[in-house]
């Protein structure tokens, strides 16, 4: 089973280019004036992390969260 | 509020559709989530000279940084191939001015334009899509429209909300990173492209001059690469001893280069441009394709509204695929073959072509280029190379 993760953005590195949102298979990321993540839609595939041209995204484990 | 057409996204395709529909007398609203149309861009800003006449865009000096007379290609070991024309072949534009002017042409033709307005969802009424919900400076607005155009870029949501499958996995995108910077030593009348599996996996490094000593210096690589586009561009600059200290802009983005959205219309929703992945998969340029698709889409939208028959919109899918889709599928096939080229292949091919009849090659006769390569002994002795080149033919 895939480890359930949460995707977090480093605001200082992100250019809001929208590449991650374009490649997300489940519309779990929205890039408007700010970067938004919808955990209920995320399937922890981490495609967005590889897709980012500047490496601004990372996954953090969900352990310990309700 | 009510419009005949609402266009989401004021990049290239959006404003052309908005302009064409407004010119035909329809009520159009174009929205864009950005506060400043045209910025930030995700683009190298190079475009061929032919598009201005073809798509009725004024050749306005305000967005033309520099006229270009050809290209110079560099192989991994430094072999060069120069293609120089007597006439201007392309221009390096300024997207933040260009996009704004396209929006201006649309507005002047009668369209309403609202920046800082983000689409947030669709309005559904009696089983059909009746418009979009949006946020303007945080205030919710409802925009009813007969036709909805998803010109909302690579991160398109509107088409996906409407049930159009625009999804493609990361392998089908390029990741790109670009500096606008001061740089010297490259002929400012040409664009410069560097190829190589270590230089830019699946893509290339480009220098697109905006001035004698100023250029867009960027890179595109496969998006599923474990390393970032920035990593490869910085490495390239470092290895060539090019100081990246006088930077005027940094731009990043994802470029859809792996095939095109099949269904371009569903009901009264159309998808166009990067959102439909209408990008040339060989060089990653999307502006000309967006203009072409927007022109086809506009024509059928006008017809559908004139005849009050929205099923005519389906003709946009048909016509696009017959014309541009078929051509771009061939380009995609060729691109997939070029992915198999080793650095030694690239060195050899560029070396052979630089010794061949430059004028013929510059004439752009693709078949002649492949034939010239097929004649060379180093190619003739390699069944693998013959096979690759035959696939390219």
Angle in degrees, CA B360, B210, A18, rounded to 5? 100
pLDDT in tens, A29-66: 999 889 999 999 999 999 999 989 999 999 999 875 55
Strands (E), chain B: 2-8, 28-31, 46-48, 64-68, 70-74, 80-84, 90-93, 112-114, 117-125, 128-136, 139-150, 173-182, 191-194, 204-211, 214-222, 247-256, 265-266, 269-271
Inter-chain CB proximity B228 and A53 less than 8 Å: yes
Residue B103, classified by CB atoms within 10 Å of its CB into exposed (0-12), middle (13-18) or buried (19+), is: buried
Considering only CA atoms, which of B12, B306, B338 is closest in space to residue B146?
B306
User: CB distance from B4 to chain A under 8 Å?
Assistant: no
Distance from CA of B243 to the nearest CA of A (A): 20
Do B244 and B237 form a contact (C-beta atoms < 8 A)? yes
Summarised one tens digit per residue, pLDDT across range B361-378 is 666 677 888 888 998 999
Residue with tokens 């352990």: A63
- 8-state DSSP, A2: P
The rounded distance, in Å, linking the Cα atoms of B68 and B30 is 32
pLDDT in tens, B140-187: 999 999 999 999 999 999 999 999 999 999 999 999 999 999 999 999
Chain B residues lying within 8 Å of A18, measured CB to CB: 153-155, 253-254
Residue range A5-61 forms a domain whose CATH class is alpha beta
With 0-12 / 13-18 / 19 or more C-beta atoms within 10 angstroms meaning exposed / middle / buried, residue B152 is buried
Q: At residue A2, does pLDDT exceed 90? A: no
Query: Would an 8 Å CB–CB cutoff place A23 in contact with chain B?
Result: yes
Predicted confidence (pLDDT) per residue in B226-248, tens digit: 999 999 999 999 999 999 999 99
B251 touching A (Cβ < 8 Å): yes
Low-confidence ranges of chain B (pLDDT < 50): none
**Is the pLDDT confidence value at A1 over 70?**
no
Return the pLDDT at B368.
Answer: 81
For the four alpha carbons of B374, B379, B384 and B389, in that order, the dihedral sign comes to negative
- Residue B364's pLDDT is 66
**CA-CA distance, B385 to B340, in Å (whole number)?**
10
Spatial contact of B218 and B44, defined as CB atoms under 8 Å apart:
yes
Cβ atoms of A46 and A3 within 8 Å: the answer is no
By C-alpha distance, the chain A residue nearest B154 is A22
pLDDT score recorded for residue B367: 80
The full 3-state SS of B112-167, as one line of letters, equals: EEECCEEEEEEEEECCEEEEEEEEECCEEEEEEEEEEEECCCCCCCHHHHCCCCCC
In SS3 terms, B332-369 reads as HHHHHHHCCCCHHHHHHHHHHHHHCCHHHHHCCCHHHH
Paired with B349 in beta bridges are none
| Residue B118 to residue A32, Cβ atoms within 8 A | yes
Residues B284 and B254: beta-carbon distance below 8 Å: no
Q: Would you list the domain boundaries of chain A?
A: 5-61
User: Nearest Cβ partner of B40 from A15, A52, A54?
Assistant: A15
| Angstroms from A19 CA to nearest CA on chain B | 5
Domains of chain B: 2-65+92-169+259-334 (3.50.50.60), 170-256 (3.30.9.10), 338-392 (no CATH)
Query: Could you tell me which of B76, B101, B66, B383 has the C-alpha nearest to residue B201?
Result: B76
| A chain contacts of residue B253, beta-carbon cutoff 8 Å | 17-19, 53
Q: Is B118 on the interface with A (CB under 8 A)?
A: yes
Q: What is the pLDDT of residue B137?
A: 93
The reply to whether A19 touches chain B by the CB within 8 Å rule is: yes
DSSP state letter for B321: I
């Amino acid at each position: 089973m895939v480890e359930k993760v949460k995707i977090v953005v480093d605001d200082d590195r992100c250019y809001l280019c929208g590449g991650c949102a374009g490649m997300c298979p489940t519309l779990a990321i929205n890039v408007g004036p700010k970067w938004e993540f919808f955990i209920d839609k995320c399937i922890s595939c981490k495609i967005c992390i590889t897709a980012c041209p500047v490496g601004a995204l990372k996954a953090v484990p969900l352990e310990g969260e309700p | 509020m009510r419009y005949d057409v609402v266009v989401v996204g004021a990049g290239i395709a959006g404003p052309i559709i908005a302009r064409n529909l407004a010119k035909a007398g329809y009520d159009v609203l174009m929205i864009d989530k950005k506060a400043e149309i045209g910025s930030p861009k995700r683009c190298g800003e190079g475009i061929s000279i032919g598009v201005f006449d073809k798509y009725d865009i004024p050749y306005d000096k305000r967005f033309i940084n520099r006229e270009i007379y050809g290209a110079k290609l560099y192989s991994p070991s430094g072999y060069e191939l120069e293609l120089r024309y007597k006439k201007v072949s392309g221009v390096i534009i300024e997207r933040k001015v260009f996009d704004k002017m396209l929006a201006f042409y649309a507005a002047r033709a009668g369209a309403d334009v609202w920046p800082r307005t983000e689409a947030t969802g669709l309005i559904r009424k009696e089983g059909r899509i009746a418009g979009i919900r949006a946020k303007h400076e945080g205030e919710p607005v409802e925009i009813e429209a007969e036709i909805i155009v998803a010109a909302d870029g690579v991160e398109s949501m509107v088409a996906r909300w409407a049930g159009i499958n625009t999804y493609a996995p990361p392998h089908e995108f390029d990741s790109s990173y670009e500096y606008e910077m001061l740089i010297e030593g490259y002929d400012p009348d040409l664009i410069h492209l560097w190829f190589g599996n270590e230089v830019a996996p699946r893509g290339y490094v480009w220098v697109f001059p905006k001035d004698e000593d100023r250029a867009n210096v960027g890179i595109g690589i496969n998006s599923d690469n474990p390393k970032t586009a920035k990593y490869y561009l910085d490495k390239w600059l470092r290895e060539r001893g090019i100081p990246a200290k006088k930077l005027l802009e940094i731009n990043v983005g994802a470029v859809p280069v792996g095939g095109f959205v099949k269904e371009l219309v569903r009901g009264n929703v159309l998808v166009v441009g990067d959102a439909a992945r209408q990008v040339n998969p060989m060089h990653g340029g999307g502006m000309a394709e967006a203009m072409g698709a927007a022109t086809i889409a506009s024509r059928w939208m006008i017809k559908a509204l004139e005849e009050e028959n929205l099923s005519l919109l389906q003709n946009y899918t048909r016509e696009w695929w017959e014309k541009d889709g078929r051509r771009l599928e061939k380009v995609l096939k060729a691109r997939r073959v070029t992915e198999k080229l080793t650095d030694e292949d690239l060195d050899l091919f560029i070396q052979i072509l630089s010794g061949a009849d430059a004028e013929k090659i510059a004439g752009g006769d693709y078949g002649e280029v492949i034939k010239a390569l097929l004649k060379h002994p180093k190619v003739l002795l390699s069944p693998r190379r013959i096979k690759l080149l035959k696939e390219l033919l």
